[in-house]
Structure 1
Amino acid sequence: MSVFVETRRQISELPVSSPTPEFTGKIAYLVNQYPFPSGTFIRREIEAMENFGVQVVRFAIRQTDVRLSEPKDLVEASRTRIVLNLGVIGLFSAAFVTALTSPGKFLKTLALTIKLGWHSDRGLFCNLIYFLESCQLTRWLIQEKVEHLHAHYGTNPAAVAMFCRSLGGPTYSFTIHGPHEFDKPHFLRLGEKVARSKFAVTISEYGRSQLYRWTEREHWGKIAVVHCGLDKNYFSRELTPPPAARRLVFIGRLDEQKGTHLLVEAAKLLHEDGVDFQLTMVGDGPMRGELETMIQSYGLDECVRLAGWQNDDEVRESLLDSRALVLSSFAEGLPVVIMESLAMGRPVISTNIAGVGELVQPGVCGWLVPAGAVRPLADKMLEAIEMPVDQLAQYGKAGARLVMAHHNAITEAEKLARLIGLTEIHS
């Protein structure tokens, strides 16, 4: 039996806490835009909830502004109600009805809006728009008899959820992903949002520590960790051996935050040292033109390729065709692509930021380097390029086990269902 078949067998036999539970209840999800290509983790969470028997209503504040091609995303888009599609007249009409039917709650929530918006980064005007949105969303939530509202991201979705609660809507919770929420915690009033919530979720222990910083100690007990998860398709595939080809892959948006310029600089160092390698950069973004110029001016045309945007199947193929995933980011939460790479038996080279070190373990399933350090990044890329295939396979095996144990969409959604307080059905 090959090491890869054996690894998959061992992963499938990892102990689980209990059989897949069944819950009853009706909840709603709120996201700024939903669905969106890089938000598959939200879709997986919703799918897991529905597999438990929970009724899930989907809301988004605005229409998704990117092209959707995945069949599941297209289905999700058809099931999602968009608040801003009502237009200005519709939102003001909802506010007028709310003011007539619940004047006390209307004025209380308007006062809260002014208080939070006066010194926020988005200003009072944007927060008043959130207030109008919450008037309509609260009506929908009550009409649908939703028991609880869960928002993804601590920005405007969490604000709208909080205003809905103040207007008489259901309890709410929200998931913080980072890094953007932690760039402006005072402006976002994260502590206020936690205090008024039923609970708040972060996707890593690092994220929880940061939310502790901006939340009063008396509310720390509300903050829990629920990881982003992968679905069973990632855990049912047989692991394949890493290629002998000296190939690495980057997957992400081409912008400053991802450190893509420094990744090309690291590739330049390897090229100057005479190292034979290939680096494929999957993704698109505002820095693509500059990166193309750098690659050409450094003479890297033969070893660095910008592959552009790829769909889910193409991304999986790019990972499987590479020895390791390499990320050079300056700011992250805990990238889902790391979980996907490890689940497929491909080690990860990453900057040691945020929650990345909770999953990428040096000498076990990958390599960590200081953010912004080019030479150490190049050195670890060289290690992955030159590592014997058998040792790479052991790294991949360890990474797959870690992801199965800590980033299974079913078990993570179960944590969330229990935090919400959904009623479990006992057979």
Structure 2
Amino acid sequence: MRIAYFTNEYPATSHTFIRREIRAMETRGHTILRYALRCKPEELIDPDDIAEMERTAHVLHLPKARLLASVISSVLSSPAAFFRAARTASRYSSHSKRGFLVHLAYLAEALVLADWFRRDDVEHIHVHFGTNPATVAALVHDLTGVPFSITVHGPEEFDRPHEHALGKKTAAASFVAAISSYGRSQLMRWADYEHWHKLHIVHCGLDATYRNQPLPKKPSNTFLCIGRYSEQKGHLLLIDAAAKLRDQGAQFQIRLAGDGPLRPIMEKRIHDLELSNHVLLLGALPQMKIREEIQTARALVLPSFAEGLPVALMEAMALSTPTITTYVAGIPELVERENGWLVAAGDAAALAIAMKEALAVDAPTLAAMGAQARARALARHDITTSARLLERHMARSGISAPAETQTITQQPTPASL
């Protein structure tokens, strides 16, 4: 089947999970057409992302004349559909602080995509993130009649559910996938009960390379943190916890992989607390280097204030690395006491205690925790299972799927059905 994958920005360093999902769907025999509003090619460092750039059509990268031609073509193909989509844009704008003019821009983007989707014979649209890409997809649905579905990640959608019209989008979509039970529960808050049957759990998945047995870990005092340098990831709290751990005489290093707007503030905080020997900012790294960093770390530390369910956690756990993280969103569904440490979000003292405990754990215990982490991550986050689930839900909106998908479930089973 011909399925359009659409999101705000693709490819992107932080969207590895989308790339894996696309490839798994292609392996299932579907033709996946990639579309996005934009991409920042100068920020791409992974060879696989660079290759995806060439396969993706970007709305906002086209010359204005070609954009205008697509808009006109789409309007002329069905004026009635255009006015229907315009009414939908107006209704969505009434919930949003961005107002009607921004939603008029979303309508223009939808007109371009509608023209492309007709040309490319798209049979289903799948959108990652319930924010503006889902708005655009809903408008494309009005323009073309092509069914669409959404994977909602959080936390942004759940921070402003009214503004993002989650209830209206759920009503219009053929189904909505949540990446955790927590995420599904939040969608249930905003969707009318009559649409709850559309809400399903489809985990972000790990590809087959993670099933290869990782190399045995050598004892180290290194912690790794992976994530965009932004407020919600808790990096500044981690730096404060590092100061507490240093003052207690612990020998350790924290390596922070990522980049983002908080970097200058983080650098200043590290300097002010004299932590340059203990906290190192690595910047953005390609996926292969990330895996190397995970396999040399004693534990992954992710002190997030807000999350969906971080892909970095499942990657680290699949590579037999215990984790230190927070009781936030879907994280406790994956991380348990047997395979890591859970602490209260925003508590630097508790975070320092957990890291100190991790440093004190002997090698056999750490290995046992890593083995349990690996087993749990691989059981819950298999990309082939996730692709089959998506395929099954799409089939209910008219896309054919192999008969085997009718029996596929994903843990926890009851919430996935």
TM bin (shorter chain)? over 0.9
**Is the 1:240–1:345 contact (alpha carbons within 8 Å) kept by the matching residues of 2?**
no
> Hey, what does 1:327 align to over in structure 2?
302
* 1:85 Cα deviation after fit: 2.6
How many Å separate the matches in 2 of 1:426 and 1:111? 39
Q: After the TM superposition, which of the residue ranges 54-63 and 87-96 deviates more from structure 2?
A: 87-96
Given residue 329 of structure 2, which amino acid in structure 1 is its aligned partner? A
**Is the 1:94–1:132 contact (alpha carbons within 8 Å) kept by the matching residues of 2?**
no
* 1:106 Cα deviation after fit: 1.2
* 1:76 Cα deviation after fit: 1.3
Q: Secondary structure at the match of 1:294?
A: helix
Given residue 206 of structure 1, which amino acid in structure 2 is its aligned partner? Y
Q: 1:270 to 1:426 in 2, by over 3 A?
A: closer
- 2:340 is equivalent to residue 366 of structure 1: yes
* 1:279 Cα deviation after fit: 1.5
- 2:118 is equivalent to residue 118 of structure 1: no
Q: Deviations over 1:16-49 (max 9, x none)?
A: xxxxxxxxx1111111111111111101001001
How many Å separate the matches in 2 of 1:232 and 1:247? 27
- 2:263 is equivalent to residue 304 of structure 1: no
**TM-score, L = length of structure 2:** 0.93
Q: Secondary structure at the match of 1:424?
A: coil
* 1:311 Cα deviation after fit: 1.5
Q: Secondary structure at the match of 2:18?
A: helix
Q: 1:425 to 1:251 in 2, by over 3 A?
A: closer
Q: After the TM superposition, which of the residue ranges 225-234 and 86-95 deviates more from structure 2?
A: 86-95
Q: Identify the match of residue 408 of structure 1 among 382, 391, 396.
A: 382
* 1:229 Cα deviation after fit: 0.7
Given residue 63 of structure 1, which amino acid in structure 2 is its aligned partner? C
> Hey, what does 2:411 align to over in structure 1?
none
**Is the 2:41–2:50 contact (alpha carbons within 8 Å) kept by the matching residues of 1?**
no
> Hey, what does 1:259 align to over in structure 2?
234
* 1:296 Cα deviation after fit: 2.5
Q: 1:100 to 1:245 in 2, by over 3 A?
A: closer
> Hey, what does 2:135 align to over in structure 1?
159
How many Å separate the matches in 1 of 2:81 and 2:271? 61
> Hey, what does 1:19 align to over in structure 2?
none
> Hey, what does 2:400 align to over in structure 1?
423
Structure 2: gaps of 5 or more residues: 405-417
**Is the 2:90–2:103 contact (alpha carbons within 8 Å) kept by the matching residues of 1?**
yes
How many Å separate the matches in 2 of 1:132 and 1:317? 44
Q: Deviations over 1:96-134 (max 9, x none)?
A: 333333121111111111121134132211111111111
> Hey, what does 1:397 align to over in structure 2?
371
- 2:253 is equivalent to residue 278 of structure 1: yes
Equivalent residue runs for 1:10-409 within 5 Å: 25-64=1-40, 66-236=42-212, 238-362=213-337, 364-409=338-383
How many Å separate the matches in 2 of 1:273 and 1:93? 66
Q: Deviations over 1:205-239 (max 9, x none)?
A: 10001111111111011011100011101111x23
How many Å separate the matches in 1 of 2:139 and 2:17? 26
How many Å separate the matches in 2 of 1:290 and 1:426? 54
* 1:66 Cα deviation after fit: 4.5
* 1:426 Cα deviation after fit: 6.2
- Output the aligned Cα RMSD: 1.6
Q: After the TM superposition, which of the residue ranges 135-144 and 417-426 deviates more from structure 2?
A: 417-426
Structure 1: gaps of 5 or more residues: 1-24
* 1:89 Cα deviation after fit: 3.8
How many Å separate the matches in 2 of 1:100 and 1:300? 62
Q: After the TM superposition, which of the residue ranges 105-114 and 188-197 deviates more from structure 2?
A: 105-114
Q: Deviations over 1:323-344 (max 9, x none)?
A: 1000111111111010110010
Q: After the TM superposition, which of the residue ranges 308-317 and 334-343 deviates more from structure 2?
A: 308-317
Q: 1:296 to 1:219 in 2, by over 3 A?
A: same
The structure with higher relative contact order (CA 8 Å, sep 6+) is 1
**Is the 1:138–1:169 contact (alpha carbons within 8 Å) kept by the matching residues of 2?**
no
Given residue 36 of structure 1, which amino acid in structure 2 is its aligned partner? A
How many Å separate the matches in 1 of 2:73 and 2:268? 56
How many Å separate the matches in 2 of 1:68 and 1:82? 15
What fraction of aligned residue pairs are identical, expressed as a percent?
Answer: 42
Given residue 420 of structure 1, which amino acid in structure 2 is its aligned partner? M
* 1:277 Cα deviation after fit: 1.6
Alignment length, in residue pairs?
401
